[in-house]
Amino acid sequence: MTVRRDFQESGRCRSDLLIGRDEALASAREQLSRGGSVLLHGPAGIGKSVVLRTLAAEYGESARTVLRCSATESESHLPFLALADLLGLALDEVSGRLPVAQRVALESALTGRGESTLQRDGLALRLAVLSALRALAAKGPVLVVADDLQWLDTASTELLGFAARRLGDTPVRMVFAGRTDGQEYDRYLRASTPDTLAVRVNPLNRTQVETLLRHRGYDLPRSTVREIHSTSAGNPLYALELGRALAENPAPPRPGEPLPVPTSLRALVLSRLEMLSDDARRTLLVVSAGARPTLDLLHAAGRTNAEAETAQAAALGLLAPDPEGPAVRFAHPLVSAALYAEAGAQERRAAHAALSTAASDPIERARHLALATDGTDPEVAARLAEAAALARDRGAPTVASSLGLLAARHTPADSVPNPDEHRLRAAEDAITAGELDLARDIARQVLARSTVPAERVRAWIIVIDTAGHAMTEVDAVFPQALADAGDDPRLLALIHYQLAWRALLVEGDFAECREEAARAAELAERGGDRHMELMSLSFQAQTETLMGHPDAPATIKRALKEPQDPQVTVHHNGIGSARFRWLIMSDQLPEARATITTLLREVRRRGSVESEVHFLRGLAETELRCGHCGRALDVARESLRVARDTGIGEVASAMLAALAEASGGDVDRALALAKESVEHAEENGDLMYLSRAQAALGYARLVAGDAPGAVQSLRRARELEHDLGVDDPARGRWQGDLAEALVRVGELDEAQEVIDVSRGHALRLGRESVLAVLDRAEAQVRAARGEPEAALAQLASAQDRLAKLGYGLEEARAALALAELRAGAPPGPTRASAPYDEAARLFRRSRALPWLRRVDAATVPAPAPQPLVRQPQAVAALDGLAAMERQVAALVMEGATNREIAGRLFISVKTVEATLTRVYRKLGIRSRVDIVRLAAGHHTN
């Protein structure tokens, strides 16, 4: 293989640089595997070269010859330089196979000896490059790799393009990368083959930027990561440089100010900024200081020649048109950040002072006034506090938190409220916005200096809140908080409310949780804290509902008494949430959907991220119950995305997404998500969600055809709920799944015991849908015991009741069980298809794709059995296989892959692999090929 010297490195790049590149790599790999070529394009620093090196390393291993060049701007004027990089080392290998005229022209161009030019030797050179590539390809596949295509010299581009257009089926693949800063990439295609696929390398999203920074060891708060993502616009090079600068700078940016821009990035834009006039530069500084400046705002801020000055900046590529309106917008956020970072402190204050009077929005005016003011100022602090309250009412908690920190900075130490009170309110706003790291840091700062009990307890509560479900991490906080609270009932109520959560999440004790919540409600009432009293009553009501406790309705009634607190009504742990949980567990699905939809709309208006994640899960759960699997999948995925972006509720969202994927999406993804939720719940010591995660894993395994695995997970869910003290089967609704899985593994007595125990609780609590599902499972037990008539009647009744209650997916599952029984065969290949028509219709209506695939697998005609010659011992071995083993072996004989077998038999790929292992052992063979040979050798002719 001919390789350029600078290509003799491993080519394997750091795995963290490939974060967020799955889509681009997948498209490129698919194109290259077909023998095509790829053009990677995108702006500078976006990661094109990383993807290029990865592809070159992967496909270079299968190529005999790899030709590579990487152009530079300073050398782009030199003709034939890129061609010399590509073919220089291969010249000796191919020159003897070229006609004399072509060889002379090519040698002259590549070595610089002679006066070869495109004008003088144009045809000979073009044909020489084409002939050289064909000569190399005649000995084996050729891979051409070219980076920074924008700097390729014109002559090399023309010659490559001529050859590429005429290669035809010659085994030459090309992987190129070129910069496109908002420009078209068509001009690059002239150097590549006609079938080249253009693949854009896109910016990273916020989660990917956070992952990239964490891989590099930059442990930054989520609020800072958000700013890095915004300033870098998702460009990984810029994000890493900003992260490095922040990690090296011990002083974090001041509230309200943009990130400091390192010199390495300033250099990218300062050369263009230097071409601006002084007045234009001052105008752009006002633009960078503003939130969404317009020409009218610039005029009001004293920039009288704003039109001409912004036009000058636009001509230099510093500004770009705003597609959403008349705002003046920078071409890239980094330009704004670099301009602001380069300005002096006095210049910045002057820009903010001008905007503090020009801006029409009171929030913006207050922010600019704060940034224009040096030192403390009670009047400025008061205006900032008012602006923070306004932002809070508008549903912008992130803005409210930033304004609160500015208020703290400008508040004198002896003022009322004092700086720490502003900081604590800012931390609480940060929690609402999902900025948990920021909130925790603020609380720690307050704890380090405050001696006021109320402030300290409030700060401790913030630390506990930011731990989320991982409350084992803050166990040491509770004694300190109780000591600070003394005998103040208001402060004690706050702590006992958190102790109720600890009892539930860490101890897994619903009874203790209920007692602590009731105690918190009593303390809050005694202290006159109606907000905390309502929160505690709501939590007590939810706990009693999940326990199946008879006092739940009375507690809900108490929590609904006036006076109410609007914040509690829509809080994810408030009375609205408790009422929703009661409705959905009581089979009142339409009212449950209306309730959760209203709650979700309101928390989105308020900007409460944690409540939004929680209510998205509630809506997804409701849609699943109703049998709207497609809708449920969309909402569950959104909940998981927001949860992962903010780090809030990831275990619960992964669990719900697993249920949705198993019902209406991808079973393999469902299994992965369920396992993830189980692992994280175990790591966090979160016993409440561990039981639900195990139930989700059991359901996903049941859908995947792994009945033994389903039994294992669902038994564990049963144990956990028993230990938690949960008696209401409507909480997890895993009982029918466990009974069905037990039937499939032949444990009929245990299946009946699960049904009997669960039925007793469901009858006591009036859980009609649970009773219908249990009847469906009991019918399967009866069918397995040889009572088909009783089973048919019970299944038909269960299906009818589930339909009336509005449980679309459960209704379809009853129809499937009925079809399997009527067909007279367990799940698997059968000749009967008519009994499955109703089940298929219902699953299609629900968009329950995994279940629909199961129906399709059940109605695939079984292959006609071939008569076997009863001579060899192998025949007896084939007959001795279990039913599932015979089905798998039969599909192997048809040439089906493991994944195809899994789809047709509705089992997992791992189950197929395990089954084949048993087949090999029983037949004394080693591979799939041996199965085919064995069967073919004993068929009659």
Q: Which of 114-123, 344-353, 463-472 has the lowest mean pLDDT?
A: 114-123
Give DSSP secondary structure letters for 421-436: HHHHHHHHHHHHTT-H
What average pLDDT does the segment 469-493 reach? Answer: 93
pLDDT digits (tens, 9 = 90+) for 172-202: 999 999 988 756 677 778 778 888 898 999 9
List of residues 6+ apart from 281 with CB closer than 8 A: 273, 339
pLDDT digits (tens, 9 = 90+) for 346-401: 999 999 999 999 999 999 999 999 999 989 999 999 999 999 999 998 888 989 99
Q: How far apart, in whole angstroms, are the C-alpha atoms of residue 627 and residue 122?
A: 69
- pLDDT band, very low/low/confident/very high, at 73 (cuts 50, 70, 90): confident
List of residues 6+ apart from 185 with CB closer than 8 A: 39, 41, 178, 198
What average pLDDT does the segment 295-308 reach? Answer: 93
Residue 114 above 70 pLDDT?
Answer: no
What average pLDDT does the segment 595-612 reach? Answer: 92
Instruction: Give the model's pLDDT for residue 883.
Output: 65
CB 528 within 8 A of CB 516: no
What average pLDDT does the segment 137-145 reach? Answer: 92
Instruction: Give the model's pLDDT for residue 119.
Output: 58
- Return the top range by mean pLDDT from 28-42, 61-75, 747-761: 747-761
Residue 911 above 80 pLDDT?
Answer: no
Instruction: Give the model's pLDDT for residue 827.
Output: 46
pLDDT digits (tens, 9 = 90+) for 259-296: 778 877 877 777 777 888 999 999 999 999 988 899 99
What average pLDDT does the segment 81-103 reach? Answer: 86
What average pLDDT does the segment 848-859 reach? Answer: 86
Residue 579 above 80 pLDDT?
Answer: yes
Residue 1 above 60 pLDDT?
Answer: no
Instruction: Give the model's pLDDT for residue 14.
Output: 58
Instruction: Give the model's pLDDT for residue 265.
Output: 80
List of residues 6+ apart from 233 with CB closer than 8 A: 203, 332, 333, 334
- pLDDT band, very low/low/confident/very high, at 801 (cuts 50, 70, 90): very high
- pLDDT band, very low/low/confident/very high, at 321 (cuts 50, 70, 90): confident
Over pLDDT 90: what percentage of the chain? 49
Q: For the chain, percent helix, then strand, then coil, each to nearest 5?
A: 70, 5, 30
Instruction: Give the model's pLDDT for residue 115.
Output: 59
CB 175 within 8 A of CB 32: yes
Average pLDDT, whole number, for the chain?
A: 86
What average pLDDT does the segment 410-431 reach? Answer: 94
Amino acid at 768: E
pLDDT digits (tens, 9 = 90+) for 2-53: 444 343 334 445 566 788 888 899 889 888 888 889 999 998 888 899 999 9
Q: How far apart, in whole angstroms, are the C-alpha atoms of residue 887 and residue 919?
A: 11
CB 153 within 8 A of CB 78: yes
For residue 563, give the 3-state DSSP assignment.
coil
Residue 938 above 50 pLDDT?
Answer: no
What average pLDDT does the segment 820-836 reach? Answer: 60
pLDDT digits (tens, 9 = 90+) for 860-907: 654 444 443 333 444 455 566 766 777 788 777 766 777 777 666 656
Residue 491 above 90 pLDDT?
Answer: yes
Instruction: Give the model's pLDDT for residue 855.
Output: 87
Residue 805 above 80 pLDDT?
Answer: yes
Two structure tokens written together for 516: 């602590």
Q: How far apart, in whole angstroms, are the C-alpha atoms of residue 201 and residue 51?
A: 9
